[in-house]
Structure 1
Amino acid sequence: MLRISVALCTYNGANFIEEQLRSILEQRMMPQQLVISDDGSRDDTLDRIARVLASLPHQHPGRSVSINILKNAIPLGVVKNFEQALLACDGELVALCDQDDVWHPDRIEAAVAHFRRDDEVMLVHSDARLVDESGSPIGHSLFYALRITDAELAEVRQGDELAVLLRRNLVTGATAMFRRAVVALAAPFPEPWVHDEWLAVIAASIGRGEIVMDELVDYRQHSANQIGVSRLGLLGRVGRVLEPRNGRNRHLAERAQVLVSRLDSLGDAVRPDARDRAREKLVHLRVRARFSRVQLLRLLPVLKEVSTGRYARYSRGAGDILRDLLQPAGNERR
């Protein structure tokens, strides 16, 4: 039987933590370990956690789970707090967990089924129902908000989620489960990356990811979200194209360099094609980072880069082409 760990990170999460904890403890397939890493909460998050855990033997007799609570005297921040929690997990499979969501009863069971079918699967993530602060459905799902396309889903189903992840992130940590081997290779998590997208691209570079189309989590959207999701309308997307780029392309190139360096350091654990594609993405983003501050002078270099096909393979296609042609430079420096 596969041992399952849950990595739950908290910070001032008293308003929602009890509901989330109960949803974990009421899973049809129980985890064997729960690691809770609190990042210096100043409310009564830890007291509420203790209350729920104390009730476990009475409310769920016969169900047991190993509990490990880590308390940070000095806050680490979201990414490093998750890294700490994940490294403390000892399960073969590790599920990420936000403090303010609610898991559906089959959240663990549905993901584990994919790992059992195929040893090459390193990552499983799902859709989620978006809910408001009170837990009422907003009316659409996470995948709708992310605008996941049929073409992207086809790539994932063909075993090549890396192709999608080299263009943009699809994986929301609150819905994700990884093999522990991924965590070992991904740590330490580098600063330019968010933990879930970093874990996802490492997982897809050593194996493959799979998607569960069912909504397995109620993903809460509220003002205190440290990481959330929203679907931009047409005006929002136009505004994003026209906003100052402020060094965005240079930042993307720096992230790509970090990825290439890590994949190189992992040697034979990484698929050769993954390493080659990451290097080509880096070449592409370095080209984009060198575009002139003057929009008119970007036209020919952008068209030359379009001709290589790399905008389609490693950026967001037409949207990023328009960005590179139209965005003012803002406060970026050469």
Structure 2
Amino acid sequence: MKPSVSVALCTHNGARFILDQVNSIGQQSVLPAQIVVSDDASSDHCVEIAQAAIAELQSQSDLQLQILRNNPPLKVVKNFEQAVSACTGDLIALCDQDDAWHPDRLERMVAEFERRPDLLLLHSNARLIDAQGADLSESLFDAIEVQPFELAWIHGGRAIDTLLRRNVVTGATTVFRRSLLQYALPFPPEWLHDEWLAMVAAAVGRVDVLEDRLIDYRQHAANQVGARRETLLAKMQKALSTRDHTLAARAVRVEVLLDRLLQFGDAVPPETIEKVRKKLAHQRFRASLPQRRMARWLPVVGELVTGRYNQFGRGLHCVARDLLESGGG
């Protein structure tokens, strides 16, 4: 039997786009068995719009619907945690309210899970569209500058190495086995839900990627995260910005990850634990650099020689930021 699919659809004032998304789910060549709508204190009619559209699907299939309403709102991470916790399918597809799935999205992704019992999480590329649905002539991977070697590492079973450098997994494109939740729940507040699921999956199992564009990923003013290519000017402005608490917060995120992985015993390879420890040491190093620019040069060059800037970050891009950011104090 084919694995069953649950859709974890999180909403918040999404009346403008929700119908397109629900209709795209109903047009899948392989239909889900369940949709969980977890609404975060919407003040518009997006839940009612979704419910009516899903009712049309239910008249033609055995689709199950569960609606959860939060008041006060849980915010995005805990809202998705609530949604996936209510899912009962073998596979869980994360779903944003403002995107649209291509008709073969589930068929393509379910087939990979059927073919590969070791696969825990699968994500894909996406076509970027604007608020009106017009093609922006750019893919998600183009916008976030995914490199060929990063994809090759993921295909080759080295997703953990890619993800310890930076996140390239977008939740709206992701499907994972429900069994992953035994490790991933609860979602820590320091992490976005999609980054956390991908990282934990890469630590305890296999993560892979389909490079085809399987959804339309809508870019508009109200995106929680979005995907926009940084211009050269924006990169320069970031490099010259004032040092803040971002690096310290990133170190805390790695501490949280390490603490969780250590709870899993033999489920996590020792070499993975060692990589996470080194990542933590690198983040702590960056967070503790001196305020004065000139005082950073020798330690940064020393860290660069170790290779950790390339192993756990974007190489010279991160070096430039650590050397050029102003002290802030």
Could you say whether these structures have the same fold, taking a TM-score greater than 0.5 normalized by the shorter chain as the test? Answer: yes
- 1:283 aligned partner: 281
CA distance in 2, matches of 1:72, 1:33: 20
The answer to whether the Cα contact below 8 Å between 1:114 and 1:210 also exists between their aligned partners in 2 is no
Q: How many angstroms apart in 2 are the aligned matches of 1:254 and 1:28? A: 42
- The answer as to 2:37 corresponding to 1:39 is no
Aligned to 1:252: 250
Q: What is the CA-CA distance between 1:245 and the residue it aligns to?
A: 2.1
For 2:160, the aligned partner's letter is: L
CA distance in 2, matches of 1:319, 1:312: 9
- Superimposed CA distance per residue, residues 258-293 of structure 1 (whole angstroms, 9 cap, x where no aligned partner): 111111112222222221111110011111111100
Report the equivalent of 1:20.
21
Aligned to 1:200: 198
Structure 2: distance between partners of 1:247 and 1:85: 31
Aligned residues: 328
Equivalent residue in structure 1 for 2:186, among 179, 185, 188: 188
C-alpha contact (below 8 Å) 2:58/2:64 kept by paired residues = no
AA matched with 1:206: V
User: Of residues 174, 182, 195 in structure 1, which corresponds to 2:172?
Assistant: 174
Partner of 1:297: 295
Question: Does the CA contact (< 8 Å) of 1:87 and 1:184 recur in 2?
Answer: no
**Bigger shift: 240-249 or 1-10?**
240-249
SS at match of 1:191: coil
Q: Which residue of 2 aligns with 1:53?
A: 54
Describe how 1:1-334 pairs up with structure 2 within 5 A: 1-57=2-58, 61=60, 63-330=61-328
Residues 113-143 of structure 1, C-alpha deviations (whole Å, 9 max, x = no match): 2211222211110110000001110111101
SS at match of 1:64: coil
SS of residue paired to 2:165: coil
CA distance in 2, matches of 1:200, 1:159: 13
State the distance in 2 between where 1:271 and 1:8 align. 33
Task: For residue 171 of structure 1, report the CA deviation from its aligned partner.
Answer: 0.3
Q: Distance in 2 between matches of 1:329 and 1:86?
A: 42
Cα deviation code 1:196-237 (max 9, x no counterpart): 001000010011211111111000011111221100111111
**1:247 touches 1:329 (CA, 8 Å); kept in 2?**
no
Deviation at 1:57, TM superposition (A): 4.6
Q: Which amino acid aligns with 2:3?
A: L
Partner Cα separation in structure 2 for residue 214 and residue 14 of structure 1: 28
Question: Does the 8 A contact of 1:244 with 1:330 survive in 2?
Answer: yes
Q: State the one-letter code of the partner of 1:72.
A: N
In structure 1, stretches of 5+ residues that fail to align are none
Q: Within 2, Cα distance between the matches of 1:51 and 1:321?
A: 52
**Structure 2 runs not aligned, ≥5 long:** none
Identity %: 47
Is contact 2:32–2:63 with CA below 8 Å preserved after alignment? yes
Structure 1 counterpart SS, 2:136: strand
CA distance in 1, matches of 2:191, 2:246: 14
Superposition CA RMSD, Å: 1.1
Matched position secondary structure for 1:307 = helix
- State how far apart, in whole Å, the 1-side matches of 2:269 and 2:183 are: 13
Distance 1:273 1:120 in 2: 19
Aligned-partner residue type, residue 293 of structure 2? Q
Partner amino acid, structure 2, of 1:12 = N
Shift of 1:324: 0.8
Q: Distance in 1 between matches of 2:56 and 2:91?
A: 26
Q: Name the SS of the counterpart of 2:150 in structure 1.
A: helix
TM-score, scaled relative to structure 2: 0.97
Aligned-partner Cα distance in 2 for 1:311–1:15: 43
- Secondary structure (helix, strand or coil) at the match of 1:166 reads helix
Secondary structure of the residue that 2:9 maps to in structure 1?
A: strand
Report runs of 4+ in structure 1 exceeding 4 Å deviation.
none
Give the TM-score taking structure 1 as reference length.
Answer: 0.96
